[in-house]
Amino acid sequence: MHIACSTFAASALLLAPAALAQSLTKLTVNANGVHSSYDSAVGVSPDSVTPDGRYTVFSSGAWQLIPNLLTFYTQVYLYDTLAGTTRLVSWSPTSGPGSSYSAAPAVTDDGRFVAYESRATNLVPGPWRGYWQIYLTDLQSGVTSVVSLTNHATPALGNADSSTPSISGDGSVVAFASEATSFVLADSNGTTDVFVRDLVANTTRAVSRIPGGSFGDGTSKAPAVSGDGRFVAFETLATNLAPGATATYSKILVRDLATGTFEHVSVNSAGVAADAAAIQPSITSDGSRIAFLSTASNLANTSPGLQHAYVHDRTTGITTRIDVLPNGASTNGVALGVRLSDNGLFASLISTSSSLTTGHVGLTADAFVVDLTTQVALRASVPLNLPGEPNQGGISAIGNVSDDGRFTAIQSNSTNLLAGEPVDGVVDVYLRDSLSMWYRDLDGDLYGDAANFLFATFQPGAGYVSIPGDCDDTNPAVHPGAIEICNVVDDDCDGDIDELVWSSYCTAATSVAGCVPTVSATGVPSASNASGFFVQASLLPGGKQAIAVYGLAPTAAVYAFGNLSFLCVAAPRQRTLNLPTGGAAGLCNGSYSLDWLAWMSAHPTALGQPLQAGQTIYSQVWYRDPGAILNSNLTDGVVFTLCP
């Protein structure tokens, strides 16, 4: 039985971020590029991505992800970003993949343990009670064990469905919701409760219960456990568990398993309870910060009746809305999902807002990562077409975000997040790597020095920008977006100096030899220089004469009846130096080159004298062409403006 497959060559992925800048990886595709044929899910657990971003857990009904896998059920998988492998988690070494559905995985900080819900009967030996149970797989030893066990002398499986596990970062505690009444004594409230299984002490205890007293008088669910297993945040309808948490709508509570106390955290900064439902808790590793969604109108910077994302700091008592702009201004749309990083510095977010970041054209559900220190958001579900939105309804679920804000998992059936996506309506799971290369911008022109950069998820500071290419980071007038002017400087950083001080215009005729001579210019047309700017022509008839003509205005008059040349210079015109074209007669290898500034210096009374910066000169080359009308022809024109 193969349990792992490589999705790309293993590399020092996390150590070489340049290769990963702003990337999206589809996890539900196999090593041969075959896309999944059935839906996948990032799950409902707040523990789907490890703090370092290396491991992501998800469930999938696709059988294509692992070679030679024969299954007709949703299974649980772990993706290793560093190794580039996808591993089947819900399987038995003796009987293969889970014999029924497995879902809602949660992973420890080191990626070793994965907790999940399953109806499979073959994951562990022993009797099966016909319900969803919580399992734990040790990916190091390959051993799977049951978590949803009663707290009796002889532990037994729960007598009803258990779901939505959350595992502590150290793997010592698994919290889960269950309808079972058999885990502990006196569970007679007839509704779903939250429990924790201590994997070290092998005990199960009720979380949604007053210590030594009554269970909650309403449904409790959606647990999220802290890194050491001490604190459990959960969603509850109960009115009898915590002081002030007496509303009949859903609230977020935190249970301290060490002291047994409850804390109501869906409150505003004054400690007043939210005046509407709060759902979907997420907790930091130290248990100090709780994220949740609420439609309340009295929390912080709220839009009454609309659901937004909030973070409550249990240390300071402050509740902050996080789907806002950096200046605190409210955004449009609603929040549909929120997860915290373990360290509490970042949050992953689903929002329909089109004003949270740029590049939107509508109120489609998008994934974002928010820096909770600066309140700056970046978009994690960037479609191929910008501005634009993920199609097919956008993002339907999101995992938590890594501690550096770099990695987050998203779930979507969109077909425009990556090139080549099949239009099949299948829901897939992706891993967003939001790492970017930031370039030092010393002169503040919004372009950075390509040789002076660093990697970060968010902009490191005002002195860094995302666009490189500044060839002189000490001069704000020099950058790739500048207009090239006549100053002997590469103003636009394209490697050419003053190349745009002249341009071609008008139309050249075809010579008798069948060539189309063309005129160009080189050098700097400076009004203060005595030489160094050349008017040149190439592809002229060999062995003939040519002369440059210039004037102060353009035209496009017919040179002579029957001749296809155009007079590109309007009268009055000035003839310059008559020179031989060189080359061989009958061929197009003749040329002409006039140092126009040197000629002007030698002719102080010529047309246009005295030269002044800002003057525009129009020029073309006349050449002898026996056999043509008037036995001559004209090139196209060149126009240039004199600089100082």
pLDDT at 1 over 60: no
Written as one letter, the residue type at 397 is A
Q: Please determine, for residue 20, whether its predicted confidence score (pLDDT) is greater than 50.
A: no
Give the mean pLDDT of 150-159: 92
Q: What CA–CA distance (Å, rounded) separates 133 from 180? A: 10
List Cβ neighbours of 27 (8 Å cut-off, separation of 6 or more): 7, 40, 56, 58, 77, 79, 86, 409, 428, 429, 430, 431
Q: Are 83 and 202 in contact (CB under 8 A)?
A: no
Please state the φ and ψ torsions of residue 536, each to the nearest 5 degrees.
-130, 150
Please state, for a pLDDT cut of 70, what percent of the chain lies above it.
Answer: 96
Token pair 């005002």 is found at 462
**392-406 pLDDT, tens per residue?**
989 999 999 999 999
Q: What is the rounded average pLDDT of the residues 489-501?
A: 82
Amino acid identity for residue 124 in this structure = V
Q: Edge-to-edge, what's the strand order for the sheet holding 75-80?
A: 4-6, 85-88, 75-80, 55-60, 40-41
Q: What pLDDT, on the 0 to 100 scale, is given for residue 346?
A: 98
Which residue(s) pair with 433 in the sheet?
23, 407
Rounded to an integer, the average pLDDT of 365-391 is 95
Q: What percentage of the chain has pLDDT greater than the value 90?
A: 85
User: Over the stretch 173-193, which tens digit does the pLDDT of each residue have?
Assistant: 999 999 999 999 989 999 999
- Of 480, 528, 484, the C-alpha closest to 502 is 484
Give 96-130 as a 3 state SS string: EECCCCEEEEEECCCCCEEEEEECCCCCCCCCCCC
Going by C-alpha positions, the residue among 538, 532, 540 that lies closest to residue 514 is 540
d(CA 194, CA 192): 7
What's the rounded mean pLDDT across residues 332-337?
Answer: 96
For the chain, the domains span 435-475, 502-641
Cβ atoms within 10 A of the Cβ of 298, count?
A: 15
Supply φ then ψ for residue 365, to 5 degrees: -65, 115
pLDDT in tens, 199-224: 999 999 999 999 888 999 999 999 99
- Give the model confidence (pLDDT) of 161-176 as tens digits: 999 999 999 999 999 9
Per-residue confidence (pLDDT) for residue 32, from 0 to 100: 85
Q: Where are the alpha helices (DSSP H) in 153-278?
A: none
Question: How do 308-313 and 289-294 pair as beta strands?
Answer: antiparallel
* Confidence (pLDDT) at 318: 98
Per-residue confidence band for 500, with pLDDT thresholds at 50, 70 and 90 = low
Encode pLDDT of 589-620 as tens digits.
Answer: 999 999 999 999 999 999 999 999 889 999 99
3-state DSSP: the chain helix, strand, coil percent, rounded to 5? 0, 40, 60
Confidence of residue 499 (pLDDT cuts 50, 70, 90): low
Given a contact cutoff of 8 angstroms between Cβ atoms, the answer to whether 292 and 176 are in contact is no
Q: Tens digit of pLDDT for each residue in 444-489? A: 999 999 999 999 999 998 899 999 999 999 999 999 999 877 777 8
Positive/negative CA dihedral, 172, 177, 181, 185: positive
Decide: pTM greater than 0.85: no
- As a whole number, mean pLDDT of residues 559-565 equals 90
What H or E segment, with its residue span, contains residue 574? strand 573-580
Residue 119: closest CA among 104, 98, 136: 98
Contact 441, 420 (CB under 8 A): no
Whether pLDDT at 644 is above 50:
yes
Rounded-to-integer distance, Cα 581 and Cα 586, Å: 12
Candidates 29, 32, 40, 31; CA nearest to 10 is 31
> For residue 317, what are the CA distances in angstroms to 228, 310, 314, 345?
22, 13, 5, 17
Q: Where are the beta strands (DSSP E) in 265-362?
A: 278-283, 289-294, 308-313, 319-321, 335-340, 346-351
DSSP string, 381-410: S--SSSS---STTBEEEEEEE-TTS-EEEE
Topology (CATH) of 502-641? Immunoglobulin-like (2.60.40)
Name the more confident of 422 and 10.
422
Q: What is the mean pLDDT of residues 52-58?
A: 98
What Rg, from alpha-carbon coordinates, does the chain have? 36
Are the beta carbons of 166 and 106 closer than 8 angstroms? yes
pLDDT confidence tier of residue 3, bands split at 50, 70 and 90: very low
Residue 164 · residue 219 · CB < 8 Å = no
Is residue 400 within 8 A of residue 341, CB to CB? The reply is yes
pLDDT of residue 366: 97
